[in-house]
Structures are given as structure tokens and as C-alpha cells.
Amino acid sequence: MHNLKIANNIINNRINSINKKSHGGNKKIDINLYTEECIKNSKPFYMHKEKEGKSTYSTGFSLLVCISFLFALAWAPFSNIATILLQKRYNITSISAGRFMAAQEGMSLVLTIVVGCISDYIGFKLLFVALGSLTMISAHLLIFFAYSSPAAPIFLLGISGPLISCYWPCITYLVDADSIGSGFAIFTCILNVAYCLSPLMVSALALKDTSFDSVEFFIVCVGVISFLAVVALAIINSRYNL
């Protein structure tokens, strides 16, 4: 209703402006006929400003693509070596390491639904993504220093995954309605590139460091860069209410 009032005000102002330019001539524009012509048009003039800046190749969309790539680049290496890493860091059996990873996936399965509903209700999706990146960084710092038991970092990772996944709905805010399909296609391709690079990077790092310290350090560094990228996106695209 509010948008309809705005549209009507714009139409009235446009008609009054045109009528004034006619200098009181006989030719006047009828508001009803003018409104009908606007409705027949597939893209009314009062909708042009809403679509302005929401291009598939906008700065915000490009930055969101980079964020998704960085998160995949940080998440995939740990998934590749998680059970071996936990065994080395905490001196546990392969069965125990597998149980911890199963617990993490189970937490993520449930919390993804919960976090998704909350973010849909209150908004602020980028805030959830930022919290998820900080949680992921904290978890990998605990693993890097082998602090406490593996339960603490696994618990944090189980929380961080659903929080980070809140960047997916942001795609629809940053692309045109006609470009949503290609936008998701670009995201999928970028994620697959990260998943292809991940095993190569892990093997190269682990070849010189069997303790996986370099791998964990790499994950923490990528996590920090991801967090900074999320903050930058929040500043640049604050008008989109992400």
C-alpha cells in the first residue's frame, strides 16, 4: 500500500510537470489514461530506481562471491583431514575422531534449520555470517594449540557452519530478478573451484609438515580474511539491508 501511494504521487507529479510545460494550452494529460499506459508497460518508470545498482556484476555481488570462495577454501581442507588431524592433535583413536565429526555434522544439520528461521525472522544475515566466521576462527585456534578436549572446537564448528551458510540468501538481494539463476550458477562454479584446489593445497602443505600446523595456520588466515570481507560487504551494501 505504501509503495502504491508513492507510485501515485510520482505519477501525479509527472503529469503536473508536463501540464505546466504546456503553458496552459488545450492539450492536457488525463491521469487515468496516463496510469493505464504505465500499467501496460512491463517496466513502469517508477520501478527503474528500485532495480538500479542491483546487477549480477555489481561490487556487492562480486564481493559475496569472493566470500563464498574463501569460506569454502577454509572449510574444505579441514573436512579432508579432520579425522587424522584430531587423532594427531588430541591423541585419540580413529573411531573417536569419527564420532566427533559425526557429532559436528549432526549439530549443523539441526542448527541450519534453526538459524535459517531466525535469520529470516530478524534479518541481519551478514551479522550471522560474521559471527560464524569468528566462531570458525576460534575453533581452529583451539585445534592449532591443541587446547582442552576436541569437544570444544567441534562444538564451535558445529555452530559456525549454519551461521556461515546465511550468506546464500544474500544472493537474491544483490542480483536482478532475471539474473538469480546465473547468480547461483556462478556461486556453484566458484565453490567447485575451491573444492578442487583444497586437496592440492592440503597435500602440498602436509608434505612438508606432517603435524598439519601449516594447514591449520592457513585455515585461520583464510578465516580472518573472510571475516574482513564480510565486514567490507556490510559497509558497502548497507542499503540492501543484508
DSSP string spanning 188-240? Answer: HHHHHHHHHHHHHHHHHHHHH-TT-HHHHHHHHHHHHHHHHHHHHHHHHTGGG
For residues 129 and 217, state if they share a domain.
yes
For residues 26 and 107, state if they share a domain.
no
For residues 43 and 100, state if they share a domain.
no
For residues 36 and 137, state if they share a domain.
no
Full-model pTM: 0.72
Task: Measure the CA angle with vertex 102, ends 97 and 107; round to 5°.
Answer: 130
Q: What is the pLDDT of residue 79?
A: 84
For residues 159 and 232, state if they share a domain.
yes
For residues 13 and 70, state if they share a domain.
no
The interaxial angle of helices 125-144 and 213-236, nearest 10 deg, is: 160
For residues 44 and 157, state if they share a domain.
no
And the C-alpha cell for 64? 559475496
Q: Name the domain boundary from 50, 65, 81.
A: 50
Residue 66 has pLDDT above 70, yes or no: yes
Higher pLDDT, 81 or 130: 130
Start-to-end CA distance of the chain, whole Å, equals 23
For residues 86 and 155, state if they share a domain.
yes
How sure is the predictor about 137, in pLDDT bands with cuts at 50, 70 and 90?
Answer: very high
For residues 139 and 109, state if they share a domain.
yes
d(CA 219, CA 241) in angstroms, rounded, equals: 29
How sure is the predictor about 8, in pLDDT bands with cuts at 50, 70 and 90?
Answer: low
For residues 20 and 102, state if they share a domain.
no
Q: Annotate 119-144 with b (16+ C-beta within 10 A) or e (fewer).
A: beeeeebbbbbbbbbbbbbbbbbbbb
Query: Could you give the percent of the chain with pLDDT greater than 70?
Result: 74
CATH at 163 = 1.20.1250.20
The average pLDDT across 180-208 equals 89
Residue 25 has pLDDT above 80, yes or no: no
d(CA 26, CA 242) in angstroms, rounded, equals: 50
Query: Could you give the percent of the chain with pLDDT greater than 90?
Result: 45
Q: What is the pLDDT of residue 26?
A: 52
For residues 31 and 81, state if they share a domain.
no
How many C-beta neighbours within 10 Å does residue 20 have? 9
The average pLDDT across 191-208 equals 88
The domain in which residue 91 lies consists of: 55-240
Q: Which pLDDT tens digit goes with each residue over 29-41?
A: 555 555 555 555 5
Number of domains observed in the structure of the chain: 2
Q: Which pLDDT tens digit goes with each residue over 156-190?
A: 999 999 999 999 988 888 888 788 888 899 999 99
Higher pLDDT, 36 or 154: 154
How sure is the predictor about 208, in pLDDT bands with cuts at 50, 70 and 90?
Answer: confident
Return the DSSP state at 132: H
For residues 86 and 187, state if they share a domain.
yes
CB within 8 A of 69, min separation 6: which ones? 190, 191, 193, 194
- Grid cell 550471522 is found at 128
d(CA 87, CA 94) in angstroms, rounded, equals: 6
Q: Which pLDDT tens digit goes with each residue over 80-117?
A: 888 888 998 898 999 999 999 999 999 999 999 999 99
